[in-house]
Amino acid sequence: MVFRRKVLLLSLIICSLSIIYAASFFFDPELKQDNELYAWLDERFLPYADAIEIAGSAGNIVFTRKNNIWVVSGYSNFYQKIIDYPASQNRINDLLGALTRRGHYPVRSELLDKYEQYGLGANASRIIIYGGAGLPLLDLYVGYIGHTGQIFLRKSGKQIRSGEDIFTVYTENGKAYWFDLRIFAELHSSAVQRIGFIPPEGFGAGLYYIRNRNFWINENDGSVMPEFESIVRSVTETHGEDFFPVDAYANADWMNFGSIGMWLDDGSYRNITLGTLKYNHMGNAVEGNAGAVIYLALVPDTGLVYVLSEWTIRRIWPQALLQ
Q: Domain with 172 in it: what CATH number?
A: 2.60.40
Q: Is 262 exposed, middle or buried (0-12, 13-18, 19+ CB in 10 A)?
A: buried
Position 296 confidence tier, pLDDT thresholds 50, 70, 90: confident
Domain-located, residue 4? no
Q: How far apart are CA 87 and CA 323, in angstroms?
A: 36
* pLDDT score at 99: 96
Domain boundary among 178, 201, 218: 178
* pLDDT score at 107: 92
| pTM over 0.85, yes/no | no
Indicate if 75 and 127 belong to the same structural domain: yes
Indicate if 61 and 145 belong to the same structural domain: yes
Indicate if 155 and 281 belong to the same structural domain: no
Would you say residue 297 has pLDDT above 60? yes
Q: Which of 16-20, 41-45, 204-208, 272-276 has the lowest mean pLDDT?
A: 16-20
Q: How far apart are CA 275 and CA 293, in angstroms?
A: 10
Domain-located, residue 27? no
Domain-located, residue 114? yes
Output 79-83 pairs: Cβ under 8 A, ≥24 positions apart.
79/246, 79/303, 83/245, 83/302, 83/303, 83/304
Indicate if 64 and 160 belong to the same structural domain: yes
Query: How many separate domains does the chain show?
Result: 2
Q: Which of 68-82, 95-109, 156-170, 194-208 has the lowest mean pLDDT?
A: 68-82
Domain-located, residue 30? no
Q: How far apart are CA 235 and CA 7, in angstroms?
A: 84
Domain-located, residue 7? no
Q: How far apart are CA 153 and CA 161, in angstroms?
A: 5
The number of beta carbons lying within 10 Å of the beta carbon of residue 164 is 12
Domain boundary among 178, 211, 232: 178
* pLDDT score at 77: 63
Pick from 305, 310, 306: nearest CA to 293: 310
Indicate if 63 and 147 belong to the same structural domain: yes
pLDDT digits (tens, 9 = 90+) for 257-266: 899 999 999 9
Q: How far apart are CA 38 and CA 106, in angstroms?
A: 8
* pLDDT score at 203: 77
Indicate if 60 and 146 belong to the same structural domain: yes
Indicate if 145 and 256 belong to the same structural domain: no
Domain-located, residue 25? no
- Domain of 102 in residue numbering reads as 43-178
pLDDT digits (tens, 9 = 90+) for 110-163: 877 889 889 999 899 999 999 977 789 999 999 999 888 899 999 987 899 999
pLDDT digits (tens, 9 = 90+) for 204-225: 788 999 999 888 999 988 899 8
